[in-house]
A and B are shown apart, each in its own frame.
Chain A
């Protein structure tokens, strides 16, 4: 506990160090690594994401051991995991609850970056790898949701694959590559299983890039001004290890609550009915984390238009470091952004709630207003605000 301040140079070189300097690397990057002093709780969500990802990979591997990617057996193999495999119910709940925790943390993590301007120079690559991770997690979550071969799996996948099909030029060949046939069947299920499994490890790789980029440009902080002298920083260990440890315990309590006490809270009961290509369930809707995008698809009275706006709502995030050129980072110091960004957050939530309700005229109107505000904020307010801030 008293050694974090030692630098690797003063340590006697040992056997391992001379051959593979991992210990000094760890010490530089995770013990003595300089962190801003003023980080708040929102900076713990990256740690939550890493831990949730570890839970997902571990539970996913053990689920894959017992899962059968075959349309005649997939549903029964998942039921067997829930019922007959020892502790299978726990591992599956860990995986299902983990998706919710992963997306919740992901959205908060991204929201924090938007609020405190963490996407700005020199952190553009950190931002882009992070958004790339979000897209990869979305693809993985979609593929994984098909695997239990319940009614929601089947019809969700049908809708999404038809949406992919509707993309001009690349849509048709892409959906054919995924389906491997005319309709969603055995071949597609097997492909989605392999896709799901492979993407999990691809995500691990990109996380490594994301963390490597973070360790080059260092953490942003609530003031938006990067620390310049050592006196403005604290070593990662023990200061942030202890704080993240505490935050992690609280986070895991929420996760455990979901796994042990409310396993059915966020899953759709219809997915416990085996897929039936002849009957679409009456209240078909996506899981909550896809609801905002689903709401956009429904609110736009054009198939291509809906697809463009739904993908555009994510695409604007990729261009944000160049739309917003102001040197001021936190929204707290930018009057226009301070008003407009919370409304954009609210718009995202309105879309999420709308996506989980029947498309009544009121919800459609709310969705359309929300979509409009989302794009106004990123395409109009952000450039305007940065224009004004740079000129003043």
Chain B
């Protein structure tokens, strides 16, 4: 699917959502919560921002309360944490860069806030990467912490294969195959990298319609005013 059609489907599904079904981006949030967030954060996105994806305040509060936020230091000077709230950012699970690198063979899992915008190829590239893991071919040796992946130029990546068929259960009954999850999570990351996109287009239609009407009226007006001099 091209980026364009996927965006269209996303917009359509966000504007007219049947109560029982869920959108790819909503399912993708589930994949983020249960899989990606083990290593990645979205530090510019707040838990509360998910309300425009259709999450209820209670769902957001519950999700946030399960996450810990740094909260100064205690009386001994040791770092303290507190449960996150809706206005808190979705931080990386690693408290700092050094810990993130230590846990990942020296590589830092990137922040996902804008990844679908800044990664060349965008969300489609993310989907391809997630689908292109394969066993390392015979005769090829990879460094420790590298995984064979045909979507990349050098055929390896630092991220271990994250998705397995059936590793989670979608509440809407969609079978959670790797392909389905890759699809959903890339739709979610596309949504998160283009904040307010559906609203932007919806309002844009009204604005352009209004301006077209104004253009028509001012055209009639100026033609009438100028007619005497033509």
Contact = CB atoms under 8 A, between A and B. Distances in A.
Note whether A and B contact each other (Cβ less than 8 A).
yes
A250 B49 CA distance: 35
Interface of A: 37, 76, 79-80, 82-84, 89-90, 93, 234, 238-239, 242-243, 245-246, 248-250, 252-253, 256-257, 259-261, 263-264, 269-270, 272-273
B204 A261 contact: yes
A260 B118 contact: no
Contacts of A249: 211-212, 214-215, 218
Contact of A245 (B48, B118, B218): B218
Interface of B: 43-46, 48-49, 113-114, 117-118, 193-196, 200-201, 203-205, 207-208, 211-212, 214-215, 218-219, 221-222, 225-226, 229
B203 A246 contact: no
A242 B222 contact: yes
Given A261-B201, A272-B118, A246 B226 contact: no
Contact of A89 (B196, B205, B221, B222): B196
Contacts, number: 84
Given A246-B221, A256-B204, A257-B208, A83 B49 contact: yes
Contacts of B44: 76, 79-80, 83
B212 A253 contact: yes
Contacts of A269: 117-118
A246 B118 contact: no
Contacts of A272: 114, 117-118, 193
Contacts of B201: 260-261
Nearest to B89: A76
A342 to B, nearest CB: 29
A83 B45 contact: yes
Contacts of A90: 200, 203
3 nearest A-B pairs in the assembled complex, by CB-CB distance? A260-B204, A249-B215, A79-B44
Contacts of A234: 229
A269 B204 CA distance: 22
B117 A264 contact: yes
A253 to B, nearest CB: 5
Contact of A242 (B117, B118, B212, B218): B218
B39 to A, nearest CB: 19
A239 B195 CA distance: 43
A113 to B, nearest CB: 24
A273 B221 contact: no
